[in-house]
Amino acid sequence: MTQQSRGGGVVDRDDATSRVAAAFDAIASIDDPAIFIRVADREMALDSLDPDLPLAGLTFAVKNNIDVAGFDTTAGCPSYAFRPDRSAPVVQRLLQAGATCLGVTNLDQFATGLVGTRSPYGVPRNAVDPRLAPGGSSSGSAVAVARGFVDFALGTDTAGSGRVPAAQNRIVGIKPTRGLLSMGGVVPAVRSLDCVSVFARTVSLASTAIDTCAAYDADDPWSRHRGVVPSTRPTLVVGIPAVVDLASPLDAAAWSASVAALSTLDHVVVVEIDIDPLVEAGELLYGGPWVAERYASVGKFLETDPADADPTVSGIIRAALRHSAVDAYEASYRLAHLARRASRIWTTADVLMVPTTPGVATLEEVAADPIGRNNELGRYTNCVNLLDQCAIALPGCDRSDGWPFGVSLLGPAWAEPALVGLAARLHD
């Protein structure tokens, strides 16, 4: 007796329990204590499993800045922890669909970072090579998926936290249009930009998780009803940067190979696009006053000098006080100008493909330059939330040394269907 899962596969109803039990067995033998902050109770999870629900047998993990009933929400800082009364709406919708939450995962503290090394809970080991940083801030969620401990995982994304870890671990990460998924029950980083994101090993499963989570939330002031899907041409026009800034010749070769693979797809035309307004907009995120929103969220807590505060994170957030209201308005004017220039891209191209990051980051590089290396990783990701775009990160063609190289598909708000369709073809 089987049922068709919304992930596109067939789940044997009688096998759902054994699949979840096997996932718990795998986690019990885990050799990396920095992935999960806490694992769910096995017996309670198995007892609550309903094999007749559409996602029964699928397992997921949740970044620990998203509320899950029965778990402390730490945001990567033990002294900040609190016990929520209920799960965040996105988590609750997955549970109601039958998926099993296996635990909560590590992150760059207060979701501040793209490297995955800023946590008192340790550094999850990169699934491709332990010399590489896991990427952040959704480090534990990405590694849990990449190592096969869960089928998919929830992260959050403000500057690229749902995409950079996907690139570093050779998996798929979807950053949906802002407001498509409720931000209720999520510790904010930059409240006006934050999104819940999803990691999976396939585009289909990541898309299924997004569709399951998506619902308008009247209690979330940032929630939006799903907008009109932008129309596309019969032949999909995919823009690529006219000029790319990559970390090494190995990354440049991987990018060229990824573009060549894109060009082989039927009904796809590749054109070069000037993406300078995207890059310039992205530079505002860390170089501008949006960091003041991080202070609004947790700045007063950090001013108490908690012993377990990550020094890099604390320094970034507490420095936000140097920005004035005038700075904020001037940056918003600059962003509006860049957004208008960026919007013209969609008159030429339906979708953009860009490198997810200029290259991989090693733990040694991050230790030597924690701020600079972090900012470099966000070169092609920082702009997306600022410009109200959606994005899918997926593996590109690997570098010749075997290290991963990721690409991202970008589109205007509500363009998820076009991105998912192209990403699935490219990932195959």
Cα 411 from Cα 342, distance rounded (Å): 11
Which residue is catalytic, options 161, 182, 197, 314? 161
CB burial readout 167-202, b (16+ within 10 A) else e: bbbbbbbbbbbbbbbbbbbbbbbbbebbbbbbbbbb
Give me the residue label for tokens 């991989």.
360
Question: Is the link from the previous residue into 18 a cis peptide, with omega within 30 of 0?
Answer: no
**Is 63 annotated in the active site?**
yes
Count of residues in the chain: 428
Terminus-to-terminus CA distance in the chain, angstroms?
Answer: 29
Q: Is the dihedral of CA 157, 206, 201, 13 positive or negative?
A: positive
Q: Which of 242, 103, 90 is nearest to 174 (CA)?
A: 90
Cα three-residue angle 160-383-186, rounded to 5 degrees: 45
Amino acid, single-letter form, for residue 323: H
Cα 317 from Cα 364, distance rounded (Å): 24
134's tokens? 């896991």
Give me the residue label for tokens 């493909």.
353
Which residue is catalytic, options 63, 141, 182, 314? 63
- 403 close to 127: Cβ distance less than 8 angstroms: no
**Distance from CA of residue 227 to its chain's centroid?**
21
Which residue is catalytic, options 137, 141, 204, 314? 137
Q: Which of 84, 76, 135 is nearest to 298 (CA)?
A: 76
How far CA 278 is from CA of 3, 26, 230, 242, 289, in Å, comes to: 44, 42, 19, 13, 18
Give me the residue label for tokens 């076009």.
418
**Is 400 annotated in the active site?**
no
- 161 close to 137: Cβ distance less than 8 angstroms: yes
**Is 137 annotated in the active site?**
yes
Cα 172 from Cα 328, distance rounded (Å): 34
Q: Is the dihedral of CA 379, 385, 389, 392 positive or negative?
A: positive
Cα 426 from Cα 410, distance rounded (Å): 14
Cα 168 from Cα 123, distance rounded (Å): 14
Active site residues: 63, 137, 161
